[in-house]
Amino acid sequence: MKTKYIINAKILDPSQNLNEVGGVIINEKGKIKAVGKEVNKSNIPSNSEVIDIKKNILIPGIVDMKTFVGEPGFEYKENFRTLSQAALAGGVTSVVSMPNTKPVIDNVSMVDFIIRRARDKAKLNIFPCASLTKNMDGTSMTEFGLLSDKGIIGFTDVSKTIQNTNVMSRIMDYASDLGVLILQHAEDYELTKNGQINEGEISTRLGLTGIPNIAEKIIIERDLSLLEEHKCRYHINQISSQKSLEVIEKNKNNGKKFSVGVSINNLSLNENDIGDFKTFLKLSPPLRSENDRLSLIDGINKNLINVIVSDHKPEDEESKRLPFAQAASGAIGVETLLPLSLELYHNGSIKLQKLVETLTINPSKILKINKGTLKKDSDADICIFDLNKPWVLNVNELKSKSKNSAIENRKLQGKVLMTFLNGELVFGQK
């Protein structure tokens, strides 16, 4: 690979507080050699590979902290190849994969399989999680130390919450000793079992069992209380309500160190969008009220929420086109994470620099990986997008194997033009 010069770019890199027109030099090893306004037409050697991106936005490759791959066991929903295609089309160059495969990723042999499979089939940086408990049963801890040594980035039971306080205490104790990352889904089972959508007027009108937002708050309060005793690396995968945010603000103001994520779905949609039983909008956590949605946006602006995730969960049509109570939860989103996030910029809710921060350097810091940055000598993972390009989402044009998007036919503004992975152009055209 020869040296590449990307010029005439509006560069945004929150890891360096960089916001200027300039360029990026990518060396023959796929690393960033230089970035900024000093990289321009005037200092490029003749006969070099030059890519003029015409004042479009250039940011570090996006890091998505919550995606479901499907391998092994659910290849009919998604696989490493289709996930890679979808992610790169959305400017996502690194993903954290969930362990709720079949079988569950809870032992060394499964970790070896996933890492080999990802290496062979994925054109993407895959950072796998293992389950917190064996077979995600909520009782028997997995081997944190052994699995971490094999390449596991963090531990989660995905949409299953550790309900037993004693088990959670032991998990946090071990995590503290070993320095591993715990990712918790906050939802009290007894309050949410059989629940379908947010508890309130709409759930009553539709005759669906509601999921109260206090169920999320209770688990967050419990875990943050345990964090006083066991100061481990702790991350709340996704929050959805104002009540949870109040608890988070109080604890962060008291000096506790933990991180918080939110799904782009909960930032862009609310319970009203479900209309008359739109099963493609059945999600976990559920879509909440408009007040909750606005509170979550405020939480990002106040640095209470650190990360925006796609919560990419492919499901086949047969499992979604069912009566609402029987339909599977989840929606695809890795390809539309950035364009949907840009809505929050265009409507004046969140500054562009802040959005890019939640999608790049913040998840990288939480995961302790050298991604989400354009610093010298870092991997040249780059996303280039047209900030203002209007388009309408056609699910049949999406790269994911499953088409269960929550935003079908939505008018969007902002589209990915090119994605580079280790300096190679892997999506788009020069």
DSSP-assigned letters across all residues of 68-111:
---TTT-TTT--HHHHHHHHHHTTEEEEEEPS-SSS-S-SHHHH
Catalytic-role residue among 64, 106, 223, 311? 311
**Which DSSP state fits 61?**
P
The token pair that represents 329 in the structure block = 């939860």
Assign 3-state DSSP to the chain and report helix, strand, coil percentages, each to 5: 35, 25, 40
Whether the link from the prior residue into 103 is cis, omega within 30° of 0, is: yes
> How far, in Å, CA of 277 to CA of 293, rounded?
20
- How sure is the predictor about 47, in pLDDT bands with cuts at 50, 70 and 90? confident
The token pair that represents 150 in the structure block = 């094999």
Strand ranges, E, within 283-374: 307-309
13 belongs to the catalytic site: no
Tell me the mean pLDDT in the region 44-51: 84
Tell me the mean pLDDT in the region 415-427: 97
> How far, in Å, CA of 280 to CA of 406, rounded?
5
- Residues 171 and 182 sit within 8 Å (Cβ to Cβ): yes
- How sure is the predictor about 231, in pLDDT bands with cuts at 50, 70 and 90? very high
Judge: domain 61-367, CATH 3.30.465.10: no
What are the backbone dihedrals phi and psi of residue 342, each rounded to the nearest 5 degrees, phi first? -65, -20
- Residues 164 and 139 sit within 8 Å (Cβ to Cβ): yes
The token pair that represents 55 in the structure block = 């004042």
Sole residue written with tokens 């503290």: 176
Please tell me the predicted confidence (pLDDT) of residue 1.
78
Nearest Cα to Cα of residue 163 among 128, 123, 190:
190
Report the share of the chain in percent with pLDDT over 70. Answer: 100
Please indicate, yes or no, whether the overall pTM of this predicted structure exceeds 0.85: yes
> How far, in Å, CA of 24 to CA of 33, rounded?
8
What are the backbone dihedrals phi and psi of residue 42, each rounded to the nearest 5 degrees, phi first? -70, -20
Please tell me the predicted confidence (pLDDT) of residue 180.
98
pLDDT tens for each residue of 52-87: 999 999 999 999 999 999 999 999 999 999 999 999
Tell me the mean pLDDT in the region 186-192: 95
The token pair that represents 397 in the structure block = 């044009």
Residue 4, pLDDT > 80, answer yes
Sole residue written with tokens 């790169």: 88
- Residues 101 and 343 sit within 8 Å (Cβ to Cβ): no
Which amino acid appears at position 336 of this protein? T
- Residues 286 and 211 sit within 8 Å (Cβ to Cβ): yes
> How far, in Å, CA of 278 to CA of 269, rounded?
13
Sole residue written with tokens 């939110």: 262
CA distances from 231 to 176, 184, 227 (A): 6, 15, 5
- Residues 354 and 362 sit within 8 Å (Cβ to Cβ): no
